Structure formats: C-alpha cells, structure tokens
C-alpha cells in the first residue's frame, strides 16, 4: 500500500508578509518549514504564490516610501535626500579640480645598460675583480675552482 500523496498548502498571506520583510524565496521556504524545492514546485503550479510575493514586496515598499515622503515634507533633510536620490534620480556629484592634486614623482634606480650586464659590472664589480675575490680564474667553472 502506498502512502497517500497530498500537496502542501502554502499560506499566501504569510508569503506576502515575509516577502515584505525582505526575505528571498529560500528564506521564505525556511520560515514555512518546507524545502526550497517544494516552494519552487508549488510556485510554478500556482500563480497566486508569485503574486503574493510581489504584493508583499510592493506593499512594504509603498508603506516605507510613504513614511519617507511624510518625513521629507516635514523638513527632514535626510529623508528628502533619500527620496530624491532614489526616486528623483538625484545624485551627489563630486568634481575634482586637477590643479589641486599634487604631482607625484617616482624615482627608480637606474637599470644597468646592456654593456654593463655583459661585462658583469652591473653588480658594481668588474668580472676580473669578481674572479679575484672568489678565487676563480676567468673561464674556470665553479667546480674546478673548488677542487
């Protein structure tokens, strides 16, 4: 005998409330104690679930926007800036006067010339001097000088 199959009922008003609080689909599934797969399957089967989600988001945004506008109209400059920045598409523009930016100079040490690299003077020591200091004659390998 097989187990009877029943579809989990999704409470639409709870979906709307949770969406209004800013929860995403995964978080709503957790709050409803169901798997995200189950919620997504039911969402695909029942358009009212998707509508509840969007209704919840829209109603909360409308309520908060109403309060922001109310505060802005009462002279709250922070609320006015918030409203005009998000709805009025106002943005704070920062202009930079390039004349006031100090010039930055980076001085790098001189690189050895190709001739200095070939002569071995890039280290500040000529090749014959280097050979004398290490006890190696020119043309002698390191193994030969160690013996």
In this predicted model, what pLDDT tens digit does every residue of 62-71 receive, in sequence order? 999 999 999 9
Domain that holds residue 44: 12-86
Same domain? 118 vs 79: no
Q: Note the pTM of the prediction, 2 decimals.
A: 0.55
Is residue 105, in this structure, part of any structural domain at all? no
The per-residue pLDDT for 105 is: 78
Burial class (CB in 10 A: 0-12, 13-18, 19+), 55: middle
Rounded CA gap, 123 and 115, in Å?
13
Contact 10, 46 (CB under 8 A): yes
Residue range 131-146: average pLDDT? 50
Residue range 64-83: average pLDDT? 92
Closest listed residue to residue 38, CA positions, set 17, 4, 9: 9
The per-residue pLDDT for 60 is: 95
Same domain? 127 vs 80: no
């Amino acid at each position: 005998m097989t187990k009877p199959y029943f579809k989990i009922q999704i409470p639409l008003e709870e979906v709307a409330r949770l969406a209004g609080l800013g929860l995403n689909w995964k978080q709503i599934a957790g709050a409803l104690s169901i798997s995200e797969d189950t919620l997504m399957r039911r969402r695909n089967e029942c358009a009212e679930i998707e509508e509840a989600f969007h209704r919840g988001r829209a109603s909360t945004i409308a309520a908060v926007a109403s309060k922001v506008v109310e505060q802005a109209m009462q002279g709250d400059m922070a609320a006015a800036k918030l409203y005009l920045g998000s709805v009025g598409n106002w943005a704070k523009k920062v202009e930079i006067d390039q004349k006031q930016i100090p010039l930055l100079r980076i001085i790098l040490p001189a690189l050895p010339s190709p001739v200095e690299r070939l002569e071995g003077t890039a280290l500040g020591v000529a090749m014959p001097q280097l050979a004398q200091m290490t006890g190696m004659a020119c043309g002698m390998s390191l193994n030969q000088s160690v013996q």
